[in-house]
Amino acid sequence: MREHRLGDDIDDFCVRCKRVMNHSVVSVIDSQPAKLRCRTCQSDHDFRHEQAPPPKVDPRKQALFNDVLKTVDPTAVIEPAGVETPAAAATKPKAKSKARK
Ligand SMILES: [Zn+2]
Would you state the pLDDT for residue 98? 66
Q: Is the full-model pTM beyond 0.75?
A: no
* CA 77 and chain centroid, separation: 27
Q: What is the dihedral of CA 5, 9, 11, 14, to 10 degrees?
A: 90
Spatial neighbors of 25 by CB under 8 A, at least 6 apart, are 4, 5, 6, 7, 8, 10, 33, 35, 36
Would you state the pLDDT for residue 21? 95
47 CA to centre of ligand 1 in angstroms: 13
Would you state the pLDDT for residue 88? 56
Instruction: Give the full edge-to-edge strand order of the sheet including 32-38.
Output: 9-14, 19-29, 32-38, 44-46
Where are the domains positioned within the chain? 9-46, 59-89
16 CA to centre of ligand 1 in angstroms: 5
Q: Across all residues in the chain, what is the average pLDDT?
A: 83
14 CA to centre of ligand 1 in angstroms: 5
Would you state the pLDDT for residue 27? 95
